[in-house]
Structure 1
């Protein structure tokens, strides 16, 4: 199989050889699954967009004035003039990471144990004018992850970044079949994004993580840069433990984050965004009612879409080239996905110079034939070492 040929697993063996297959290329079952996926995803997208709007409009009404416009202008100028390494500044070496054994809600880990990782993040907002306000989110200033380690390790490690509102370790464990990866010899690290899980100010939000949108888009921009910063601290930690290879995958907003990491972190052996968001300005315009609400806020405060689009480019994976070789990159996209529509995956595939691209039948959260792309992930990653040298 050519690493540049996108693949679509179907019962009759149809394989797409271009970026985005036409529905007419699919077999009858795949067409039926595609139609159902689109309908279910539109309903889910509306629900998620409503929650995002409910979280962002009150904060936006307060913050999207002259101060917010100035903050967005800073990010837009940074996006226009800076390299990825200048935006995603490398964290200091040697940040202390505290490990505590974990036992609750875990799958069976034969020959290994899970540890919860915690560290005080040294991140300061890239925009100097925002540093004091951003630092007030004290719970967000503590980084979290869960690390599944074999007793005879360190082993090659698969890192996973969750999607928006889906920080629960148990969900990502099941979704990515992580106990199987562990049983096959991989250590596993699950990373928590800013403002999600224990990093949020409250757990009473309708969607965990919605706080990432509730303080204005300038704060959202800083949170995305912060996400890359803190993940690199964990890469330092794994490297200090002697981990021989580190791979990364992520779902949805986690796919977006993993693609951002691929622009600066050349220590990674492979990066595999799954159902990734890649072009936020386009996506926000497609989400109803979020797009309408954001447009109204902009009109109210004199901030046009062009200004927001330019500011969001500061952390877009489409703004910078990857530092990972093309043959070590893979994109997984859903043909029926309407939260992160297929074009989002195609945009990244084209920007990355046509790496592997696997299309699954299904929606943003219903991934039919998931085993096919998990097998292709294993093919790309290669077999883990039984014991590190």
Structure 2
């Protein structure tokens, strides 16, 4: 499915005019797996360099969630990813070195997903809705879960908590590099668009996090543990691996299914069966 995003920076917002020049972001795309009858929904938010159907379907195990567990699945494409990355200026990526582009991309991602959730509610007013994010998608999901009422659960996989802190840590700048001052100046902006600055609206029993103890990209302490503590120390699983190790982790797969079951998105196990798509 696709629809016009409708996101527009406020007049005079720094970087707003440049952001509007990235016209491929004006249209939102989402992959939809929907049952004929009303079913609970899971919004799956991809990570960096994803937004491609085969990869997203595999990493979220979407067909199993849809066919075996009976969920409606919708996978939105984030700004500057997939078909929304066409004709971007050279070097423009999300997340990237341009702090203001990161701000607008984050704001538009949250805007688009909230519009998508509104559409779901119009389609099936009584259906439960959860959100599930990976890496950058976990960051976006945590923001949505702090702004959107009535989500049943939020499952954050290897989630980023502070984008500026993450990019600064991986910048490669030496101790005496003057560019480190730019990172320091950007720290308040990072806090402004961080879930650490917001209060989660998802009930505590519906909050779930998983992460790798050896993650070299999203630091377990600087990123994940801070978000876990801010979210009230909800159920968390640490798997023995790096950033992408979740895909082959049986404990993570079971944790996600248990989270969906505990949240009420799944039928009783005795009632689950293969369902036609």
TM tier relative to shorter chain: 0.7 to 0.9
Residues 338-387 of structure 1: CA deviation (Å, up to 9, x unaligned): 11121121111101111011111211112265232222222222253589
Q: Where does structure 2 lack aligned partners over 5 or more consecutive residues?
A: none
Q: Select the residue among 120, 123, 126 that pairs with 1:238.
A: 120
Q: Select the residue among 64, 81, 84 that pairs with 1:180.
A: 64
What count of residue pairs does the alignment treat as equivalent?
262
Q: State whether structure 2 residue 47 is matched by structure 1 residue 163.
A: yes
Aligned to 2:201: 323
Residues 290-339 of structure 1: CA deviation (Å, up to 9, x unaligned): 2419x95747xxx6433200111121011111111111000111111111
Distance 2:32 2:111 in 1: 18
Q: Select the residue among 254, 257, 275 that pairs with 1:375.
A: 254
Q: Select the residue among 104, 111, 121 that pairs with 1:229.
A: 111
Report the alpha carbon displacement of residue 281 of structure 1 after superposing the two structures with TM: 3.4
Q: State whether structure 2 residue 135 is matched by structure 1 residue 252.
A: yes
The Cα RMSD (Å) is: 2.6
Contact 2:48 2:94 in 1 (8 A): no
Q: Where does structure 1 lack aligned partners over 5 or more consecutive residues?
A: 1-116
Distance 2:50 2:193 in 1: 21
Using the TM superposition, name which of 214-223 and 354-363 deviates more: 214-223
Aligned to 1:196: 81
Summarize the alignment of residues 291-370 of structure 1 with structure 2, pairs less than 5 Å apart: 291-292=172-173, 298=179, 304-343=182-221, 344-367=223-246, 370=249
Q: Secondary structure at the match of 1:150?
A: coil
Structure 1 pair 213/323, CA: closer, same or farther in 2 (3 Å)?
closer
Structure 1 pair 297/192, CA: closer, same or farther in 2 (3 Å)?
farther
Distance 1:204 1:131 in 2: 15
Summarize the alignment of residues 1-389 of structure 1 with structure 2, pairs less than 5 Å apart: 117-126=1-10, 128-129=12-13, 130-151=15-36, 153-183=37-67, 184-202=69-87, 211-213=93-95, 216-242=98-124, 244-287=127-170, 290-292=171-173, 298=179, 304-343=182-221, 344-367=223-246, 370-382=249-261, 384=266
Distance 1:176 1:214 in 2: 24
Distance 1:230 1:297 in 2: 36
Query: With structure 2 as the length reference, what TM-score do the two structures score?
Result: 0.86
Query: With structure 1 as the length reference, what TM-score do the two structures score?
Result: 0.62
Residues 205-237 of structure 1: CA deviation (Å, up to 9, x unaligned): 89xxx5235682112111101110010010011
Structure 1 pair 363/213, CA: closer, same or farther in 2 (3 Å)?
closer
Report the alpha carbon displacement of residue 280 of structure 1 after superposing the two structures with TM: 2.6
Residues 56-95 of structure 1: CA deviation (Å, up to 9, x unaligned): xxxxxxxxxxxxxxxxxxxxxxxxxxxxxxxxxxxxxxxx
Report the alpha carbon displacement of residue 173 of structure 1 after superposing the two structures with TM: 1.3
Higher RCO (C-alpha under 8 Å, 6+ residues apart) = 1
